[in-house]
Amino acid sequence: MSAEATNPEAHPEARPELRRRGRTRLDLRRLGRAALLGPTSRDRLPDAIGHVAEAHRAHHPDADLSILRRAYLLAETSHRGQMRKSGEPYITHPLAVTLILAELGAETTTLTASLLHDTVEDTDVTLDQVRAEFGDEVCFIVDGVTKVEKIDYGAAAEPETFRKMLVATGNDVRVMSIKLADRLHNMRTLGVMRPEKQARIAKVTRDVLIPLAERLGVQALKTELEDLVFAILHPEEYESTRALIAAHAGERDPLPAIADSVRGVLREAGITAEVQVRPRHFVSVHRIARTRGELRGSDFGRILVLVGENADCYAVLGELHTCFTPVVSEFKDFIATPKFNLYQSLHTAVATPEGYVAEVIVRTRQMHRVAEAGVVALGNPYATATPDAAATDPDEERVDPTRPGWLSRLLDWQQSAPDPDTFWTVLRAELAQDREITVFRADGGTLGLPAGASCIDAAYAQHGAAAHGCIGARVNGRLTSLSSPLSDGDTVQLLLAQDASSGPAVEWLDHARTPAARIAISSWLEAHPDRAMAPTSAARAPLSVVGARGGGGNAVADLPDATVRLAGCCTPVPPDAVAGFLVRGGAVTVHRIHCAAVAQMRAVGRTSVAVHWRATADCRVTLRAESFGRPHLLADLTEAIAREGVEVVSATVEPPVEQRVRHSYTLQLPDAAGLPALMRAMRDVPGVYDVSRV
């Protein structure tokens, strides 16, 4: 693969450092070759740190550069004599990584650690030396980026290195910022590698690093990494996309004229704004071409409007939708509802009188900085730490205000995945989830979950191993099965069984989306193989338990020698108002007066018979219990019935449907007055959410 093919420069969007303030890009390749010529040329190498200092001062005018110069001298001295496969002195790599981060606005500590990020791994410099010279923070970041030894981990070295970096990122997000910049420079210079190694590195970049860049909001790195991976893994599609962009470059571009119209509209409205045309990067053009087919001139870029305040964003939107024809389906408000990676903007599209449709992004300058650099733009997240916080136990986990929910979930489940292969597989699956939702807990807290998560995922996110006993959920106040998917903004109340022996069903794995839930369920099932092997999907006939049957209970008909039967459809009990009807065989059936069967009996001309209740208080009634399925539920219900001194005449348990089970009991009560207490006792059984008379 040629250097050109792995470093697409034809499109300025693919090279974020070329877009910023027109600064001349540092030619590290030239300086690297010059370093081989001897001491005279070596004197030029400090120019490299000068470029870093210039980029750093553009974002942090008051930064102390002395620590950067000291870090550079240690890095250059320790790497002296080491060469990259491309032929340059190795020092060019940490310099390039540091320059990338400086252009993004990283603060001094990040740049210091970036200059030193390979010293402990590839030279004789130790972590103790780094700590003594540059302090604990720089030492922690350098250690987080340092790979584990292959001699210790063998084939598991790469997964374990990423695990180590992710754990370190949980304490200091700057660790991953350096790793992303490190991978970007390596991808830019990947052309010297064998094709098979290029493909392997590109696949890991696609599956792990690009999703991490997306989640951390570092779009400037993410877009260039996407283009570099695209060129390696899909060279034919990359070349056709590049040809498409090259062909467009020779045609009239309508976007500058549309941008001029937008400037005029905003100027007349008195809104101070900067309007730019932002070309799409290679992968974006490829995606649009696959979606829309033949591309028009306005499809190769978007219009970016930068303003000062949030309110100005909505003012711009109002003017655009007033003076142009808006494409309603393209409007998205990421200011009111930011993405989980800190991204905020208004997205819309407008149609011009010439028939072009232009996509427009509106954001403040601060939003733009965060959209480009993500967590890097937030600076040092620990700069405002209190003295008390600084004095806490260094072994305790540091509170990082930039840690998003997905990272907390990842750090939680990785502890349950000791096997490197499991960790590596699940990590890729977790990072493939490209959207996040927020659901509210019943106690007022929130849970961050990947899109498509179910109540099962919410249960394990909130309760951990205790979720094994989850028997149901209420979503927005309504009972639902555990398999129900959740939507952004839902309120979920999880119902847990009191029985310690309760455990998850095998079917839960079909509905669990988060690694934490899947690992916990699989571990429990492995520890309880009898439960894991139990057939759960086969249809089962209703389970019936039948006792001695009575006749009419304590109902008496005003018809001598007539057999009296209490209707099973409404199971009347004293002191219900009842009606009797003569049926075949001379029997009298007794219904509650409001039973639907009463009207039917009268409609078909059944003979009405007066009935009344005996003075005795005993009665027979049929109750239906709606519950969530769990072990020992039938035993617990019958025990609750027995404690009330009630006789079970018959019981029927229907097959479970979506973890719900319906129980029907015909019961002989010694006193009808005890019916409300009986129903309350049945409702108090864990898992039972409703008890009603049939």
* Active site amino acids: 121-122
d(C-alpha 596, C-alpha 578), whole Å: 12
Cβ–Cβ < 8 Å for 450, 458: no
Residue 510 CA, distance from chain mean position? 18
d(C-alpha 206, C-alpha 201), whole Å: 9
Residue 659 CA, distance from chain mean position? 26
Cβ–Cβ < 8 Å for 613, 556: yes
Backbone angles phi, psi at 246, to 5 degrees: -65, -40
| 428: nearest Cα among 148, 168, 162 | 162
Residues 6+ apart with CB under 8 A from 472: 479, 480, 481, 482, 494, 495, 628, 659, 660, 687, 689
Report CA torsion sign: 183, 184, 186, 187. Answer: positive
Q: Which amino acid is at 671?
A: D
Backbone angles phi, psi at 20, to 5 degrees: -100, 110
Cβ–Cβ < 8 Å for 304, 345: no
| 485: nearest Cα among 533, 446, 437 | 437
First vs last Cα of the chain: how many Å apart? 75
Beta strand 346-351 with 325-326: parallel, antiparallel or unpaired? Answer: antiparallel
Cβ–Cβ < 8 Å for 86, 93: no
Q: Which amino acid is at 432?
A: A
d(C-alpha 59, C-alpha 67), whole Å: 17
Angle at alpha carbon of residue 358, lines to 355 and 360, rounded to 5°: 150
Residue 83 CA, distance from chain mean position? 41
Residues 6+ apart with CB under 8 A from 625: 637, 662, 663, 664, 665, 682, 685, 688, 690, 691
| 92: nearest Cα among 8, 33, 7, 152 | 33
d(C-alpha 681, C-alpha 691), whole Å: 10
d(C-alpha 320, C-alpha 262), whole Å: 7
Q: Is 188 helix (H, G, I), strand (E, B) or coil?
A: helix
